[in-house]
Structure 1
Amino acid sequence: MAFSSNLTRKLALLQQSTITQALNAFSNMFELKQIHAHIIKSDFNPDLKFFLTTRLLVFAAISNSGELSYAKTLFNNIKYPSHFMYNTMIRGYSQSNQPIGSIHLYVQMLQKGIFPDKFTYPFLIRSCCLCSLFLIGKQIHSHVLKFGFCLDVYVVNNLISMYSGCGELDNARNVFEECFNVVDIVSWTTLVTGYSNSGGIDVARKYFDEMPQRNTVSWNAMVAGYARGGQIVKARELFDEMPEKDVASWSVMISGYSQSGMAKEAMGLFQEMVSTGFMPNESALVSAVSACAQLRALDQGEWLHNYIKEHMFEVNVILGTALLDMYGKCGNVEKAFLVFNKMPIKNVMTWNSMIAGLFLNGCGKQALALFEQMQKMGPPPNNITFIGLLTGCSHLGMVHEGHQIFNIMTQVYKIKPQLEHYGCMVDLLGRAGLIKEALDFVEKMPVEPHPGLWGALVSACRIHGEIELGEELGKHLIKLEPQHSGRYMLLLNMFAAANRWDDVARMRNLLKEKKVLKNPGNSIIKL
């Protein structure tokens, strides 16, 4: 009998040893679930079961190969979860697509009388930021102060990040200044990045210059901030000063050039990046492709597309849309369609770009056919879709089709027309010489017409010889914007086209008398 009992004990110890070894070796959820089943069936003592379950929970909750839903099941079946288990689950939710779960667990934790520690708050604050729950984030900040964790650098950094993310940079700076004795390079970088992203580039530069040491992230943030604010020269100066550059550094500068309309510089820097040995990321590729589109540089665009193929980059929806947009603007509709048809996933921007490319190349019927296909099997069209369609119909003189498109937008998709849509319709009718119909359309609009609409009508009157109506509309337009020189020039050009030189001289004198600066603004309509 004693022999049997001793043997059972030895077998149990052997089983414990085997499971403990397995815990150190498993690497996926299938193995974890097998071990969990063994633990449930075993007669281990409660303390050992608790320890083993904790190990399983950690893997399921925060491992890259884990499964948060299974971690939740494990957690809910534990009668008295430990402080460590709560922190683990809070962290798991903060890293998932359900960060709100962290906040629910924190409330539950407090209700059960389990006090948080410095490991609780960094992931909890991160969850508030991800969920845009900044009021709750402020409440949690007060808890940080109450429980005495305001000088933990990880908590501080997450608070700075949260306040920066919601645009409350004064609060971010207050946290930084109040905890200055514990801040590290991450704290400095987070604050600099926050100001840079929010357009406060001068304040960002102040802190950047004061940094005891700088990392590549802080340099990149400053370059991006200057580029985003249109200060491309300063962006390039900082870029050139960088002691070390990473892929993001090149990408930020290339993107800055591309978005500033400096396409040649963008392509030149991209080629320099590649020749230096850096492998571009998606952002750099998209910016370079967009630069080719701006330049209408088909040869460079094709070279870039071949580079993407040779290096086996994934042509996802963003890169694919950029490529087909480039081919469309460069006049190669066939290649644009090839890219479009190979894309496994297409969003509304993809369809919009393909439709616009077809119109741009005079393929109006194909564009409308593609729009019909979009309605049947693509995403629902948005207001940008209809701006592209109406603009295309206008440029190709497709008046009837333009009317149909406008009706589909308002009646089928219930999209409320914006000024751009009304402007497209006026442009459509004006280009076709249907001036009175265009005027009637403007007068029936449920919103106040933008001066640009009247300007488009005056231009249409000039083109189609409706001088008297154009003069009447032009005078009305000058009353609306008496200091806009472009409005006077519309009438002046119309009188010149009609050989009414006395009226031309009168308009020139009027410009001088009223001291109108010759700095015309941009109309929302261009004929």
Structure 2
Amino acid sequence: MKMAARIIEQLHHPSLSQALTALTATSHLHQAHAHLIVSGLASHPFTVTRLLACAALSPSASDLPHAKTIFLHTHNPSPFMFNTIIMASSRTLDSVTFYVCMLHAGHFPDNFTFPFLIKSSSASPTSLLGHQLHAHVVKFGLDRDVFVVNNMIALYSSFRELRSARKVFDESYSLVDVVSWTTLITGFSNSGQIDEARKIFDLMPLKNTVSWNAMISGYAGSSRINEARKLFDEMPDRDAASWSAMVSGYSQLGMCNEALDLFMEMVTGDKMIPNEAALVSAVSACAQLRALEEGRWLHSYIKEKKLRINVTLGTVLLDMYGKCGSILDAAGVFNLMSERNVNSWNSMIAGLALNGCGKEALALFWKMQFVGPSPNAITFIALLTGCSHSGLITEGRWLFSMMTQVYGIKPQLKHYGCMVDLLGRAGLVKEALDFVEKMPMKPHSELWGALVGACRIHGQVELGEELGKRLIDLEPHHGGRYALLCNIFAAAQRWDDVAMVRDLEKGRKVLKNPGNSIVET
């Protein structure tokens, strides 16, 4: 009781921000509330208002369901209490319900009410609610408040109603600030109208780092990486987000060497501590390049700087190690992860599968069923790939059946491709062909190519000839299809047929694709 009384005393601190730190755990909130009821203070307006604020907004003891209970049991809530519960509920449309109650209670909204209502309305499936709130903003004369204006611009931009967003901006031109400009730029760039975004950017009377970052991210997201880099080089000041936008842009476009070079410049030249997005993009670039040494250096850097490895960064690290063939390092990361999601499990299973550890991948899958999240379609692609590489035919058949019958996952072309590859590698070409012909969707050329390749490996010349000709009919200008059929005839020493296929290829003027190889040195 002494603790509860002390908490009540802190709730009455003249500063609201100080009062919000009175509670350090939700249990303290419940104790304080119980003490108020027992002591008869539950009806004291100021005390209940502060308790509601703590339940709704406390950084360490917030409990939104409890806050709603306090609010609903309060007789004649004040406008401040309405604003508090609207603010706390702004991630859902519940805030709109409280707003309607506020109007019915005879209270008028103010400039603290609408920013959170507008934010909440972005969760609506259409912009109709946003338009209705905009009408209320005008009705109550709050369309001259810059915070309300900025939220309206963001709302219309989120629904790709850029004409409305621009109209709000233009009608409020005398009061817009750098946030208004940046929000409008982001809206246009996110909608793919990057040139219009650039026009707005060039008109800005005052730019800050966030404005530059928005434009750079827009260019990078539109695959116009050279223009993004030009702006990046022109920036007067950069922060971690600036570097991250460029590193991520390079990585997502497959320009992985550029991504890693820029990341190294960031951490060595500018000595900037990278944010999570930059780290994830840099590690992803290592995975794409199969650059194991650079990946290990990045992992060491993360540990040296004591940067937090959350589920996203942990997953991309173990994915990188798996793709680089260092399955022990991948397992080390996986085992140390305090939190794992389905992507983490999938990455670890895929790493085992790609490195010839099919049985270990299956063992991890059994563990996933007991202690992990439910598997998804990608889980079974990784598992079936592992079975194919390890020759686990019975297990592969069983997994395909489990996927559809136990987990209700509809097979995709990749699942069928894995099964065809599994059966073809094992020499069960006719079963694989039967599998393809029973598919509910039209098989793609890669499936037929896998079957033809299996026929060549296992000496099934007649079936290979039939499927090879069918494949050439599907893709008459793909040089690799002619090569497959030539190899089948050559293995059977049918040299006349080899010459016939080559003449056919030459007559159709089929260009041969040059080979290439990426090897880390």
Band the TM-score falls in, shorter-chain normalisation: 0.7 to 0.9
2:413 to 419, 429, 446: 419
Q: What's the offset of the Cα at 1:228? A: 2.4
2:86 to 85, 90, 93: 90
Deviations 1:473-500 (CA, angstroms, capped at 9, x unpaired): 3443455456666656655665676543
What residue in structure 2 maps to residue 447 of structure 1? 441
Asked if 1:259 is matched to 2:255, the reply is no
Q: What's the offset of the Cα at 1:66? A: 5.4
What SS is found at the alignment partner of 1:362? coil
Matches within 5 A, 1:225-236: 225-236=218-229
CA contact (8 A) 2:185 2:214 kept: yes
Asked if 1:347 is matched to 2:341, the reply is yes
What SS is found at the alignment partner of 1:344? coil
Deviations 1:155-176 (CA, angstroms, capped at 9, x unpaired): 2211121222233334323333
What residue in structure 1 maps to residue 200 of structure 2? 207
TM-score (norm 1): 0.84
What SS is found at the alignment partner of 2:264? helix
What residue in structure 2 maps to residue 216 of structure 1? 209
Q: What's the offset of the Cα at 1:74? A: 4.2
Q: Counterparts of 1:295 and 1:230 in 2: how far apart (Å)?
A: 20
Q: Which moved more, 1:481-490 or 1:99-108?
A: 481-490
What SS is found at the alignment partner of 2:237? coil
Matches within 5 A, 1:460-479: 460-479=454-473
Deviations 1:19-62 (CA, angstroms, capped at 9, x unpaired): 89744464313499759957995899x9xx53454455445433
Matches within 5 A, 1:98-497: 99-130=92-123, 134-275=127-268, 276-480=270-474, 491=485
CA contact (8 A) 1:351 1:374 kept: yes
CA contact (8 A) 2:49 2:81 kept: yes
Q: Point out the structure with max Rg over C-alpha.
A: 1
Return the letter of the residue paired with 1:64: P
Unaligned runs of 5+ in 1: 1-17, 521-527
Q: Counterparts of 1:411 and 1:36 in 2: how far apart (Å)?
A: 51
Deviations 1:285-326 (CA, angstroms, capped at 9, x unpaired): 222222222232322222222222222222221111122122
Q: Counterparts of 2:452 and 2:345 in 1: how far apart (Å)?
A: 34
CA contact (8 A) 1:488 1:511 kept: no
Q: What's the offset of the Cα at 1:148? A: 3.5
Matches within 5 A, 1:57-96: 57-65=52-60, 67=62, 68-94=64-90
Return the letter of the residue paired with 1:83: P
Q: What's the offset of the Cα at 1:122? A: 0.9
1:507 to 501, 504, 507: 504
Deviations 1:57-93 (CA, angstroms, capped at 9, x unpaired): 4454334345344543443343222323322321222
Q: What's the offset of the Cα at 1:111? A: 2.3
Q: What's the offset of the Cα at 1:198? A: 3.2
Unaligned runs of 5+ in 2: 1-8, 515-521
Q: Counterparts of 1:174 and 1:492 in 2: how far apart (Å)?
A: 65
Q: Counterparts of 1:479 and 1:258 in 2: how far apart (Å)?
A: 38
Q: Counterparts of 1:181 and 1:474 in 2: how far apart (Å)?
A: 71
Q: Counterparts of 2:335 and 2:75 in 1: how far apart (Å)?
A: 55
Cα 1:42/1:449, change in 2 over 3 Å = closer
Q: Counterparts of 1:21 and 1:432 in 2: how far apart (Å)?
A: 76
Q: Counterparts of 1:73 and 1:438 in 2: how far apart (Å)?
A: 61
Cα 1:71/1:397, change in 2 over 3 Å = closer
Cα 1:168/1:392, change in 2 over 3 Å = farther
Matches within 5 A, 1:38-49: 41=39, 49=44
What SS is found at the alignment partner of 2:59? coil
CA contact (8 A) 1:60 1:70 kept: yes
Q: Which moved more, 1:443-452 or 1:312-321?
A: 443-452
Q: Counterparts of 2:399 and 2:73 in 1: how far apart (Å)?
A: 58
CA contact (8 A) 2:350 2:361 kept: yes
Q: Counterparts of 2:306 and 2:432 in 1: how far apart (Å)?
A: 51
